[in-house]
Structure 1
Amino acid sequence: MGKIWVEVCLISARGLKRTSSFLKLQWFAVGWIDPENKYCTKIDASGNANPVWKTKFSTIVDPSDDETKFRDLALHVEVYSREPIFLRQSLLGSATVVLKEFFDKYDAKSDVPKPVEEVGSFQIRKRNSNKPLGFVDVSIRVSEEREEAGSSSIGMNIVELQAHKIFHSLVFCFARV
């Protein structure tokens, strides 16, 4: 198996628990497969418990680098709330999506690999807790490495992705101040 293109869309969250009854909380999420490359969604300022982000990012993974590491790859999503006045943010919880299932489905079609795409809802939990705090909706697509940067079905080419990543890194840094 050659290099694999993994496309992720952090679509939305549902049923998030509000920690403040006075303020309309703002919500954002941070997602990553490689902790060196994290992606931040835009901030949903609607104040309701069902924020919508539709943030997309892509990465290439190489199964030949380290088979054990490859099989343990996962998508990590952390959901944060932010107060609109003081801009204090706090981690609501996180969700982890093990990618092995997606890679296995992609590899099962080994003669002529066809893309595997699924949309799912994953429970958001605090670390070391079984109490669900809502759901995050994610789309994951696994396909062969792209030859053309603009051929992504999710609709972002590499230049857009880099600009998107830089912009949202700045937003995330601003939100942390």
Structure 2
Amino acid sequence: MPKSQEASIKHAAFASNLGQYWLTPFAIILTLSIVGIPLLLLYLPIGKLFTRRYIDNMSTELTDRKLIVRKGIFTRTENSVPLDKITDMALIQGPLMRVFKLHKLTIETAGQSGAGALLNLTGIIDAADFRSQVLAQKEKLSQLEAAPTPDENNDARVINLLQEISASLKRIEANNKSI
């Protein structure tokens, strides 16, 4: 299927409290240090602005053949991961994530270089369902690709068989006219 005709299956939405989750660890560190308390007054409004813009620029789309992830404020990146290259999708939830009711979805692929996941998607609403849909589409795609495709020898045999049937029908018709 050409790229322009890929069917979109699912667009992932991100949790509204994702920005708070990202800001919390550094805010805790600033609060614990006396010097950091005045910096906290600058950090929170600026941090909220940047995290909101970053989240607004994030999108994740599952198509029938690949997973497309877009993100970034200053430098926009787009990763397109073919579903048949995905080897693992882990669902992670640390202690702070449990407080915010968030999950991180990590995606590893065949042939990726370096340690760790190729993509980390934090804060997808209903991450477990999104993961299930990606894996189901991956399985569906692998079954389609494993299905036998007609080869030229089969096509030639079918054409010969149809020609023989056609010739037989013509003989039968000719015999019926002579009766």
TM-score scaled by structure 2? 0.25
Identify which of structures 1 and 2 has the higher relative contact order when contacts are C-alpha pairs closer than 8 Å and 6+ apart.
Answer: 1
* Higher share of residues assigned strand: 1
Bigger Cα Rg: 2
TM-score scaled by structure 1? 0.25
